[in-house]
Structures are given as structure tokens and as C-alpha cells.
Structure 1
Amino acid sequence: MKKTPSLKYILLFASLLLSVTTKAQFHIIPQPVSLKAGKGSFILSKNAVIGVNKETEPVGKYLQDYLNQNYGLQTTVKVFEKIPVKTAIRLNNVWSNAESAYTMNVSPASVSISGSGAGVFYGVQTLIQLLPTDKAPTLKVAACSIADQPRFGWRGLSLDVSRHFFTVDEVKKYIDVMAHYKLNTFHWHLTDDEGWRIQIDKYPRLTEVGSRISYYAKRGEFRKLDNLIDDGRDGFYTKDEIRDVIKYAQDRFVTILPEIEMPGHSEAAIFAYPQLGCQDSTGAKHRVRMLDPSEYTFKFMEDVLTEVIGLFPNQHVHIGGDEAEMVDWLKSPTAVALMKREHLKSEKEVQSYFIKRIEKFLLSKNKRLVGWDEILQGGLAESATVMSWQGEAGGIAAAKMRHHVVMTPLPYMYFDAPQANEDLEPIGWNPPVTWQMVYNYEPQSKELTNAEAEYILGAQGNIWNEKVPNAQHLQYMVYPRALAVAELTWSPKNEKNLDRFGWKMKNQYGLFKLWNFNARLPDIDGVDNIITNKSRFKLTLNYPLTGAKVRYALNGKMPDANSAAVAFPVNINVPLKDSIGLRTFTTWTLNDQHIRQTANIKRVTIKPSREKVANLKPGMFYEIFKTKEHDIDKLTSEKPTETGETSLIVPVRPLGEGFINWVKIKGFIKITKEADYELTTGFEVSPALFLDDEPVIKMGLNTYVEPQKALLHLKKGVYALSGYYIADKANENQTLIALKIAGGEKLYPKFYLMH
């Protein structure tokens, strides 16, 4: 007899479904601390009044301008002592001891945003994300209540304008989008070898000559600009332009951190004023990028910083300090005399002397010094804030010394790296960095105590522009990765959810389109390298952006803009005898945006083992080899330092200098039900995994850059499993093997891992 579900369970299911559907409307980045869905929607129309008090009036006008520019919606801003409850949008200044906190309540009758300082502005940014992205006479906003505040005070993004100059309007647009996602620190890299970009009245040649490096390079009066994909762009900002950008940023609650590079990366300044350059007592002629530690240099830099400080009202000034070619000082009569006079033992101590002297000057002007982690060398300046870029080590060391730190480490926070396979992306520095890698980064290292972790001010994404010739390309490289920085620096650590963030991220492209902003397109999900034992390859290509099209090929050359395009979804169902190369070229409507992807699908034969289940125990067998040998095939003569049985991850073991931990695993996968299965790894850098001696996961590939999976039809029985990997921090606490029935939930390892 067929049972009919009771009304109680039908209503419960409907309630749960409604709850999921309602919450699905909210794709706010960064994720709020607290968000509760309400009932109904608020309708925003052209007759709406934005009620403000004196303190929130600038934010009200900002919102009014946004609605007019992006939707053509004419609203009215009215100033009240006490804003009437019936006002459509109310922006209330309410004191809070939580910096930048806000609350927002959206009901069918009105929108109310309350906060102090930047809080109301951040509430408006949340409201902007709740608006539909299609222009219409009225705009519908889902009812909700939000209470929110940031995790970190430093939520940063840099811009290198030395390698390629960007106009005031381009810089303003960069700041605009930062502010939309509650990023609040704009690190403006104003000087470097390739150009000096800030007007300094006392030293006019810095901009007359130093900002026109590409011009002088073309005339043969300056070295050819290496590493640039073109000749660069000449230009500089006048003081009035800088004041204009500062005011623009302040209106969006963005602090600008100016960077004036020293003592290295100073070639543009030295080209303008050669007496700044490090002298060579041997008479050798070579490229000079280092400042000579002379009294002339210190007076020069103090004069420059005085004018910089006069422009920028913020607390910090960044002085660089990275990649200084300190060995040049050992040939400089000035530096050698300084070392003798100050009893300095090495060139690193000269660097420390230089930085500390600049710090003393900045402190006399009530400013604090920020520098890259190289300023730790030779002794850290007393009040310095460290930007840790060469990995986390410098930041961890500085925090343990009770210095403030901004985490901005390679590779996670470097957006000049490609965002996918290097062969498919614009040229960049370093191996690929995906948005998932950025999102998974945690600024407060486990190596820090709770007290030490308090010295981590936040995190920052960096972009260096040797390979970035224009604003559209800049936008492509920085976004959507900057969205991950926004969420990891704002949202509570325990609220991080990679899958949810990925869904929200894809929902931002309507806003990017509205803003005419060229963020890199999302990948097609499922274009993965696949090992399978099935005789047909089936895949449906779906895409989250309406109007996107795809050109694809199987075992052909990569399609391009001239290839025939089809709309999503696309069903692929073809015979599979050996292997197939899938290549896709996806386009969207904005600025001819496109991305390319590739995947290899290989057919193998997987046979069950003759081992009897009754003879097997739960878990897998492992061996750990502590060794200096990097070739796994040469471990045959070495004995393991540890053996064991586990169904969990083999933990990372302590290592000595130059040692690595090789882990070998061996066992079986027990299948109790014939079905299609999907086998993957949760390691960010993949292990080598074999099933029936067939390689199903290749070692060393980044799972976000070159995703791999095995799609196998497995009969009931056991299948021989083996593999190996290097156990280190890159895969600590990550899942070695994930198995699920295709299209279903993951299975528990304790039920299928045997040995």
C-alpha cells in the first residue's frame, strides 16, 4: 500500500523550500554578520524621499547620484532633525562602539539604515547589491534585516601606477568599485623604477623627467623598459588632482596609503637627479636603482615626504623597502663611510639605518611608517607596520615582535598572476592564483597566539602592472579576486563558505555590466580533466550569465571569436574510445569579454580486486618517509620513519632543514552498490592516486587551476587503491580522497576505505 505524506510534512517541506528560495535572493558580498529574510518587498520609485540628518547627508546624496546615474531614477534627499518613520529610505546616524557597524531593515513600507561613521555608507552598499541590475521605473528590494560590522580594519587593494600610468578618472573608478565591496584602504604605488607619478614642487625634474621615462627611453636617453608588454604610459598627478582623488576617496570612506619607494626601486628619481644614485668606487657602469645613503639623499627624501604628508591626511606613509640591491652599498664610498661611522656590520644594517632614519622623520610629522617585510632585515624600525609579501613568515615574525602587520603574501594576494591555466590567460607573473585560493587564505596564522594575532590589521590584494597596459585589463586582473579579499577581511571567520561565495560572486556580474566594468568571466563548471571507464562522454555545459555563448571543439583546435557560437546549455554526448580534448571559448556581452578552458577526458579500464572483503579492516595503510629525496621512485632503498592505519588525513610531521615528508598510502575502496561514482581529492595541490594501478588523479596540479576527477562505473566489490604525496602546510587538514555517487552526497571514508 502506497503511503501518502501527511499535511504536516507537506507544510514543513513547503516552509523549508520557501526559506531556501528566500535566502537565495541575497548574494551580498561581503557576507553580513547577521542576515534574516523578511516577507514581501520594498518598491523603490522615482518619487522616493531619502531622509537624512546632517551627518548622513553626504551619504544620502551619494545614494541619490548612484540611483540617477545607474537607473535614471530621480529621488529627493531631505534633511531632518528626526527623520519621519514614513520616509521611504532613512539614513540615521547612530553612535556605535563597533567601528563601521550598521544595521539595515527592509520592509514593504521602507528601508532604514543606521550606523556611525562609515557604517551608514556600508549599509548603502549592501542596499545597492540588493537592487535589481536591470533598469526599470521601479526597483524591488527583498525584505530583510541585517546587522553587520567588519572583522578587520584594514581591507586593502593596491594600484601600481608607476609601471603603467592610470588617469584620475580610471583611479576614481577603481576606488568606486572598491568601496562598493567595503574595501577601505587604497594603496597607491606612486613611484618606482619605471616612473615618478606625484608632483613635488621642490624637485620639479621628478615629474618633468622622471614621469616621462618611456619618452626618454624611445629617444635612447634611458634604458629600454624591461618587463613591460608595451612602452608604458607617461604621466603624473598634479597636487590638485591628488587632492581631488583624496576627497573622492574620503567621500567613499576609503583611506589612501601613498607609497614613495626607497632605498631601492628608485631609478626614475635617480634619472631625474643623478646625485641620488649609489656611487661605485670601482668605476663600473651599471644600472643604478639604489639611493646612496648620503646626507643629500636624506634631505631630498625628507623634502619629498614633507610635501607628500602635506597632501595625504591619513596616518600611514609607505616607504617600500623591498628588493633593495644592498650589495651596491658595499662599493659606495658614502655607504662604507657610514658603516664605519655607525659601527654597522653589514649592508642589511645599512638598510635598517636608512629605514629607521626615515621613520624618525615621519614620527616627527605624526605619521607612521609602513614597509614591505624586507624592513625586518638588520633590525625593524620601532613603530613600523610590516606588509608581508614574501609569504607569511615576515608578518608572523613582526606580529610576534608586537608590530602591526598587513598580510599580503605571495601567491594568494598577488593579482598580477594569471587566474587560470597560464596558456589560456593573459601573460602575468608567477603561477596561477584563482579566486578560490584567495578566498581560502586566512590572515591570522595558526602560528600566532591570540594576543599576537591581534597585531594583524587585515589583508590586501596587490597588482603590479608591468603586464597591464590599460584600465580594462586592470579590471580583468583584479576582479573577481578582489571580491574574495573583501569577504575574507570583512566577514566572520566562521562564516566563510566557498560554495556560497562562488554563487554570490557569479551574481555580481549584473552589477559589473551595469557599471561597465570588465571583471574576468567565471569558468564553466564541470570542464575538468576526467578519467573514466565509461564508453560515452556525457556533459552538460551550463553558465550563470544570461546571454553568454560558447564555442567548443572536441579534439580540434581552440575555438576563437570567428567560430560558430551556441547558447547555453550545451549537451555533449559522444562515444569515448580512448581520449578526447574538450576546448571552450565562452563570450559575454560586455566589451567582447571571453575566457578559454580546456579539459582532457581519458578512458581507462578499472577492474575489482580479488581480495576478499572479509579479510579487510577499515582505514588505509600509510608510510611516512622523512627524507631529502624529491624523487618518489628513489625511495625504494629508504625505510619509513612511521607507519600506521587511518581513515583520516595523515598529519604533517615536524621537519628539519631541507627535509620533506613523503607519504605513501595503500588500501582498497569498498563498493557496496553498483553505480556511477565520482572520485576527487580535496588537496589544493593534488596527490597521485591510483585505482587498480590506473592513475586517476595526477600529482602536483592545483585543484582550482586544473581540476581533476574520476567518473567511474563501479560494480560491487573492492578496488585496489594506492598513492603518494608530500605532506606539508599546503595540504594540512585537507581531504585526501572524496568519493560520492555521481550527482549525490559524499560518502564517509570510514565506510569505504579499507586495508
Structure 2
Amino acid sequence: MIRFSKIYLLLIIACLGLNVKISTAQIHVIPQPLHLTTQKGNFVLNSKAVIGVDKESAVIGKYLQGYLAQYYKLQLTLKVYTQIPSSTAIRLISSNLKGADGAYALSVTAGKITISGKGGGIFYGVQSLIQLLPSVAAKPLLIPVCAISDEPRFQWRGLSIDVCRHFFTVDEVKKYIDVMAHYKLNVLHWHLTDDEGWRIQIDKYPKLTEVGSRIAYYAKEGKFRKLDNLVDGGNDGFYTKAEIRDVIKYAQDRFVTILPEIEMPGHSEAAIFAYPELGCKDSTGAKHRVRMLDPSEYTFKFMEDVLTEVIALFPNQYVHIGGDEAEMADWLKSPTAVALMRKEGLKNEKEIQSYFIKRIEKFLISKNKKLVGWDEILQGGLAESATVMSWQGEAGGIEAARMHHHVVMTPLPYMYFDAPQANEQLEPIGWNPPVTWQMVYNYEPQSSQLTPAEAAYILGAQGNIWTEKIPNAAHLQYMVFPRALAVAELAWSSKEDKNIDRFEYKMKQQYPYFKLWNLNARLPDIVDIDHITTNADRFKQTLQYPLSGAQIRYSLNGKMPDSTAKAVAFPLNIDVTLKDSLQLKTYTTWNLNTQHILQSATIKHIKIKPREVGIAELKPGLGYKIFKAKENNYAKLEAVTPVSVTVITTAVPMILPVSTDDVTLVKFSGLIKIDTEGDYELTSGFEVSPTLYLDNELLIAGEKNTYVEPQKALLHLKKGFYEFSGYYTANEANSKQTLFALKDTNGKLLDPPVYLFHL
């Protein structure tokens, strides 16, 4: 019978608290501050408090005043001073602090609160103060005594929003900005034009919005192609210039810069539908979908006119021009493009793309703006001063940084939030394989492949969301949050201070704030719902949940419960006979049952037994066979001679990747020696799991993401020897991870040289 104690989990939680001092559990600020100290005591905030500001901090004081009134019904007085009196309850002091732009100092004593900052620093200090407030409007409001000094690691801490595939209202965009600001995210990448819609008013070309913003209407009328990538056929709308100015001002007051994106030369179907003269012509006369702009003088004049009006609206220094997924082969059939190639001596379609981007860049430079584009703009030659957004993995960003171009890292899969957050069958429909918040948090924007000088060209990181499968704001919020909090911390906090366990603890403390703000963030998972392999005769587990008031509906027969099933409160104790495998499925609800998540796990029952082995035959360590191949096809390895056969006896028993162009595939075999009968847990620390067998029974299935489908084996092992084998792909990612770990019933990690042997 497996009786794994929850003491180990409680010890982890206690260790998390060491970083934030359990005595002041309210300190759960995201992103993690650079320096944080706490003391006993609280500042009592009531309606008598005055917010004292100077001229420079007045707008931030007004913001704080409005926040306290909206969410806590506190009507505080705001006073502007030339010199803020030291006796003022809340003081916001403009100061040129040392450190990066955005640095701030926050001091909370029993008598007053003082925030000083550089640039947006006072505002960021206010956001940290907001996370010190209780998440419910209790009276009095107690704010723990503490001191924070902080500054951002990167100056680009971004999120995108795609309003082309599905349109979002001004109020919905503002709410998105609000939550970004709470976590010190400071760049909103506003994707305003694409095949499915043109969303920005352009006075000189009114049909861009009269026609191009109504693509869903024309598709439903049969006058435009079927929008088959969209879950519901899409919705229509656009922003007037007045609305855009309003959003920009709203963002500026929250120290968020808006980066407008006007797609070109691809993803331009909505513009071409409105103005067919823009479309790439086909000399063969073939009729096909036209998404590419023809590189004609008409097109360049048109786009320069559009950008002139865009520039007049957006005060920031950057304009994003897209450049991704351009169907450049269309140009090879265009008389205009072919003539351009002859005139400019361009060798291929990639050089046409480069010519197009460089020409637009020259225009932007003439307007004192900088060009940003997706990493495809590297093809054919990179524009002279372009900033690259690296989305197709990291390669484009690394190449651009080595060329001394600024880079924003936003790579697949880590920064793509249209991907599901857990098992695809249990989550809303999305693109690409699942991306969990842990995968986001573990991402490092400054690749180890870069020198320190090259890494300095990395401006920061950005999370992206594309809305083909996201029809409304609640769904958008579900997909973006809480993953955006991981972006916030990895882009703000120092690399050395990252701690995923502490972040998880803090992240779960944010959910009452999400409730306060009416934000539909995806709920956290139930702790310890793993795929389990066990030889126990009973399955006993206590399911815990971090959010107060949550309820669970569950089944053990493989049928997913729904809202009609009986709900029970957490913690849930499960204790059932285990003769065969069973399927645990859960339906968890929170916030008056308005939010829910689904989870599933297989409890696989196996039989294992020790084997007889002569002590004299034993040799320490495992035996390894190393293969080189072009792909990870382990089935073909039986007929292949390994490039190396070796034995490892070290404390980290794994083969590291061999640095060639081929894939390093590893098979191992040996014995696990058990000296004391008892309960044991075997796990893998690989993010993408290896395949592990014990007594020829599959314990850990290979090629599974540990955050999406966590696996472990809970085994009662008698004294003796057990056959142990497996295989895995050795790569750079898992070279710093743990192949397997064996723990006893008390959670003690056993030393591999003590229990690993081979014959």
C-alpha cells in the first residue's frame, strides 16, 4: 500500500515562505523585487489618509486614488505639493534614483508609505503597493511593513493583442492594459491589420475600414472566402482615430507603450479586398487567394500614406511592419515584381522582400521612427536599423544580435499563448502543442549561444496571442493569464533571482486579485494529479487546491464529470481498491462556479518482482549505448551498431549530448538495488520525459512534457534487485536536467551510486 506523506509538500511550501517571510504572507509581489525586507507590523489605510504628490507624480497619484475608490470604496484626498510634508500618509516623490529606467523604492512603515522612482518607477512602486493590499475590501486595510528597492532587467516587457481575427472593443483593450500594468509589463503590441480585418481608421483610404474592417460580413455574404481558420466566422469592427488616441492616453497614464503593427507585404488580404490595385498580379492569369502586396509604386505610395497617418497617432519610436509568412513565390509570377528584379539586380524573391522592407524602413527613418519586423525580415538581407522580433524559435534573434541589431525574443513555443495550457483534449481549442506557465517562466531571453556583448542587443521578451480560436474577451483572458505573469517576472526580475517554486506560490496568491478585477484567468491545477504507475493494492491520495472555496466533481471510471455531478469541497480524500488501472477525471470550479478547469490522470496498476543476482556479479553504475541518428526513431536502433558503449557511476547518471549535427540517442540498462523494503517514488526531471522501465514494466512514457502530463511511479519495493532500463534523446535542453530520481517514503533523495548496478 502506498502512503506517501503530504509532509514533503508542506515542507516545500514552508521553504517557499523563507523567501518572503511567512510571518508576512501578504508579500507576494510579481515580478519578484530585486531587494525586499520585511518587519513586523502594518500600516493602517483608511479614508483619513492623504495622497501627497509633486507635479511630476500627480497623474500617478490620481491613478492610485481612483484604484482605491473603485476596488476598496476608499475616497482619499489627493494633494499636490512643491515639497511633500514628511507627515503625509502616502507620499509619491519624483526622484532620479540610481539604476535602470523604472527603478523605484517603496517603504511601508507603521506611520506612512513612501514611493520614489525614476521614469515610470513611481508607477511601478504603486503596482507593488497594490499587491500588498488585501484582496478583499476589509476594514481597516492593513498593509505589511516592508521595504523594496527594485529595477527592471529588460526595458521591453511585452504582450501582443490580435484584434484582426476577432475584434475587441476599446474597453476590452483598456482592461488588457490595466492588467499588464499591474505586473509592470510595458509594451502592448497592437496587431491592427491582417487578412481577416483592417482595424484602424485611415482618412486617405476610407475603404480600408468601410470594406476591410467588415471581412466577416463579406465572408458570410459569400463575397469573400470562407474564414475557415476562425471558430465562428469572426466579428467586425474598427477603431476611429479618436478611440485610438483615447487608448494611447490610457496606456501612457499606465506607462504602457503601444506598438502598432501594419502588416506587409503578406497578410494583406483585407487591404487588397478594399483596394484590389494593391494585390500581387499573376501573369499566368490564374485566380487564387491574394494576400501579397504587389511591389509597385502604387503600393509603396499607398503604404507610405497609411504609415504617415499611423505615425501621427502613435508617439512611440517604433512601428511594426510585420514581414512574416510572406508568400514570396507569388512575386515570381508578377510582372511588376519581375521588372523590379531586373531594374534593381535582385537575384530571387527573398531579395524582393528585403528591398520592400528596406524601402519602408527608409521612409520610417525619414519620419524619425524605427522599424520592427518578424524574423523573416532577415531573409535577403536585413534592413540597416531594423529591430527583429524572433518568433520562429531563437535562431533569428541570435543571428540578428550577432549582427548588432536589437532583438525582442518572442519564440515558439514558449511565448505563444494561443497554444493550450494543458492537455489539448481538456482545454479550449488552440494552435500548436500545449505551453504551460512553467515553460514560459523557464525561458531565458539571452541565449547562452550569445557573448555578453551580443546578449546586450536583446531588448527583452514578449508573449504573443493570435485570436483565430478566441472569439471573446473572457476567452482571451483565459489564454493570456496567468502565463503573462511569467513573462512579467522573467523580463523584470534578475536572472539570478528566478525561483519557479516561489513564483508558483506567489502566482496562486494573485487569484483573489483576478476575482477583484473580474479577470477570467485560467485556474491553477489541482496539486499532484499525475499519471501514476504503481504496484499498490490500494490507491490513496488527498487532493488539495490552493484557492479557498473551490469545489471538485470527480470520477474514477474514465467519464468526465460536468456541472451536473455532485460537488464536494477540498481537500478530497480518495481511498479505493486498485486491482486494475483506473482513470481519475476532475471538474474543478471556483468563483461561484463561474470558472472551471478539467484534469485527467491514469492510475496504472502493475506487478513487479525482484530478481536473483549474485553479489559477485555486480558492477557499479548503469551500462549505456550511444547512437547517432538523423531523427529520434528508437525502433530502428536494434539493427544499428552504437557509436559508443560505456558505464557511468557518477552521481548524475546520464550521457550528455555529443556535439555533432546528428541526434544523440541513448539506451541504458542495469539494476536498482533495494536494501530496505518500503515505499519509493521514481520520477524524471526532464521537461520532455525519457522512457523508463522497471522489470520490463513501463513506468515513465517517453516524449511527454512533464508540465502537461506529469508522470511518476509509486512503488512498494521488497529487498532485492530490479531490472531497470530506458532510453532518451540527449540534447542541450535536458543536459542540465535530471534523468531520473528515486526517493524513499520520507521524500529523501537516494544517491545513485548506492543503488545503481549492472551485470
Question: Which residue in the other structure is 1:4 paired with?
Answer: none
1:31 maps to a residue whose letter is Q
Gap change, CA 1:614 and 1:524, over 3 Å in 2: farther
> Residue 113 of structure 1 is aligned with which of 112, 115, 122?
115
Give the drift of 1:575.
Answer: 0.3
SS of structure 1 residue aligned to 2:519: coil
Structure 2 counterparts to residues 242-257 of structure 1, below 5 A: 242-257=244-259
Instruction: Name the SS of the counterpart of 1:42 in structure 2.
Output: strand
Q: Which amino acid aligns with 2:755?
A: Y
Distance change >3 Å, CA 245–CA 679, structure 1 → 2:
same
Match of 1:73 in 2: 74
Determine the C-alpha separation between the residues in 2 that align with 1:249 and 1:660. Answer: 47
5 Å-filtered alignment, 1:368-517, equals 368-517=370-519
Aligned to 1:9: none
CA contact (8 A) 2:532 2:602 kept: yes
**Equivalent in the alignment of 2:46:** 45
- Structure 1 residue runs of 4 or more that deviate by more than 6 Å after TM superposition: 16-19
Alignment of 1:181-330 (within 5 A): 181-330=183-332
**2:693 and 2:726 in contact (8 A); partners too:** yes
Encode CA deviations 1:242-297: one digit per residue, 9 max, x unaligned.
00000000000000000000000000000000000000000000000000000000
Equivalent pair of 1:38/1:144 in contact (CA under 8 Å):
yes
State the identity %: 70
Q: Which residue of 2 aligns with 1:655?
A: 660
Of residues 155-164 and 221-230 in structure 1, the stretch that sits farther from structure 2 once superposed is 221-230
Q: Please tell me whether the aligned partners of residues 629 and 635 of structure 1 are also in contact (alpha carbons under 8 angstroms).
A: no
Contact 1:671/1:716 (8 A) holds in 2: yes
Rate the CA distance shift 1:451–1:201 in 2: closer, same or farther, 3 A.
Answer: same
Say whether the 8 Å CA contact 1:671–1:715 is kept in structure 2: yes
State the AA in 2 paired with 1:80.
Y
Q: Distance in 2 between matches of 1:629 and 1:390?
A: 20
Letter in 2 for 1:535: D
Which secondary structure does the structure 2 equivalent of 1:494 belong to? helix
Q: How does 1:624-635 map to 2 (within 5 A)?
A: 624-628=626-630, 630-635=632-637
Q: Which residue is 2:3 aligned to?
A: none
Distance 2:237 2:46 in 1: 43
**Is the 8 Å Cα contact of residues 550 and 570 (structure 2) preserved in structure 1?**
yes
1:154 to 1:18, Cα distance in 2 relative to 1, 3 A = closer
Whether the 8 Å contact between 2:178 and 2:254 is mirrored in structure 1 is yes
Give the aligned residue type for 1:718.
Answer: F
Do the aligned partners of residues 18 and 579 (structure 1) sit closer, same or farther apart at CA in structure 2, a change above 3 Å counting? closer
Work out which of the residue numbers 736, 744, 747 in structure 2 matches 1:744.
747
- Which position in structure 2 is the counterpart of 1:10? none
- Structure 2 unaligned runs (5+)? 1-13
| Deviations 1:660-711 (CA, angstroms, capped at 9, x unpaired) | 2111122222333332111110111100001121110001111000110000
Return the offset for 1:391.
0.6
- Across the two proteins, how many residue pairs are aligned to each other? 739
Q: Please report the TM-score for the alignment, with normalisation by the length of structure 2.
A: 0.95
Contact kept, 8 Å, 1:73 with 1:137, in 2: the verdict is no
Asked if residue 729 in structure 1 is aligned to residue 732 in structure 2, the reply is yes
CA distance in 2, matches of 1:186, 1:628: 41
Q: Structure 1 regions of 5+ residues with no counterpart?
A: 1-12
Partner of 1:83: 84
Find the aligned partners of 2:746 and 2:281 in 1 and give their Cα distance: 68
In the alignment, is the contact (CA less than 8 A) between 2:104 and 2:149 conserved in 1?
A: yes
What is the CA-CA distance between 1:629 and the residue it aligns to? Answer: 5.6
Deviations 1:294-350 (A, max 9, x none): 000000000000000000000100000000000000000000000011010100000
Contact persistence 1:419–1:435 (CA under 8 A): yes
Q: Tell me the SS of whatever aligns to 2:116.
A: strand
Q: CA deviation at 1:742?
A: 3.5
How big is the shift at 1:591?
A: 6.9
Partner Cα distance (1:114, 1:614) in 2: 71
SS in 1 for 2:714: strand
Rounded Cα–Cα distance in structure 1 between residues aligned with 2:273 and 2:56: 48
1:28 aligns with 2:20: no
Kept in 2, the 8 Å contact 1:513–1:590? The answer is no
SS of the residue aligned with 2:586?
Answer: strand
3-state SS of 2:727 partner: strand
Deviation, 1:611, is 2.6
| 1:615, distance to aligned residue in structure 2 (A) | 4.7
Distance 2:541 2:291 in 1: 54
Alpha carbons 1:265, 1:324 under 8 Å: kept: yes
Q: Which residue of 1 aligns with 2:354?
A: 352
Rounded to whole Å, the distance in 2 between the matches of 1:19 and 1:155 is 24
Q: Give the 5 Å matches for 1:508-587.
A: 508-587=510-589
* Amino acid corresponding to residue 727 of structure 2 in structure 1: Y
CA distance in 2 between counterparts of 1:53 and 1:631 reads 66
Contact 2:31 2:493 in 1 (8 A): yes
User: Do structure 1's residue 675 and structure 2's residue 683 form an aligned pair?
Assistant: no
What TM-score, normalized to structure 1? 0.96
Task: State the secondary structure of the residue aligned to 1:334.
Answer: helix
Distance 1:413 1:17, change over 3 A: closer
Contact 1:103 1:145 in 2 (8 A): yes
